[in-house]
Amino acid sequence: MIFRLLVALPLLLVLLLAGVSTLLPDPSSRATLMMWAQEGGKALGVAGALAAALAFERGDYLRRAWGLQAAYMLLILRDAVLMRLPPGTEILGLSVKAWDGGVVALANMAGVAAAWMMARAWEEAGFEMPAPRSRKILVGGAALVLALVFMGKPLAKDVQALLAGDYAEITAVISSVADMLATSLIAPVLLTVLAMRGGVLAWPWGMFTASMVCWLFFDAASLILGVESRHSGTWEYVARDSFRVLACLYACAAGLAQRAAISPPQLADDGELEPVEG
């Protein structure tokens, strides 16, 4: 029951958010609503990942994985502070824009590391992935194509600017590469979910995958809609950022599901995963 609730609740909250936004009369009000929804979703993502990480003993593989996920969610919350600083503010001699780019790049690297560890959790526990080789190739190829379609153009643009001498774009290049890697990691995480199906631990991995897919939809919407202003309050902006809120909420739900799934029969003595029939 708790797992089904965790699956449904993010969707219900985003639908409620969309409903409330239709009642607001002007773009400015909608932009403010979405800003608070995003920051609240990120904060919940931090809390969910920490709840999962702290359920494991120090040194456990999954404690490190969920710890990286918590770091990722915390770092992308940086706009709650940086974006509220007055224009022209410098921190240690660097502009707010430079700090923002650096923090985002670091966040993306933490997110990729977390996704990589989650994708390898099944093998780390000593089990072979039951998926046939053909399925692995098919799913992996599809993820790679998606990564190239949605991240290739922004990456090429960032690299071109960097080669032209705009060295500030190096953080954008790092972020674009990290986004591409994160998209390609949807495949192995999904295969892990399929390997765990029928077991309790399929729930947290499934919600983690849902979060990754929502981030992909957010990136795709950004590319297709071309929404430049993060505070525009247009309906395109609301639609695009609803995916971001949903991604954060599913990240929170995944962490809470991981914690709920843990009980002595489900963990090995050393804290590694064991398959659980449910």
Each residue of 175-229: pLDDT tens digit? 777 777 887 788 788 877 877 777 888 899 999 999 999 988 888 777 777 655 5
Which pTM was predicted?
A: 0.82
Beta bridge partners of 243: none
**Residue 208, SS3?**
helix
pLDDT at 269: 39
End-to-end C-alpha distance for the chain, whole angstroms: 12
Task: Domain count for the chain, please give it.
Answer: 1
Does 272 reside within a domain? Answer: no
Is residue 86 assigned to a domain? yes
Q: What percent of the chain has pLDDT over 70?
A: 81
* Cβ(122)–Cβ(192) below 8 Å: yes
- Residue 167 neighbours by CB under 8 Å, 6+ apart: none
In a domain, 190, yes or no: yes
Is residue 123 domain-resident? yes
In terms of residue numbers, what domain contains 98? 2-266
Would residue 138 count as lying in a domain?
Answer: yes
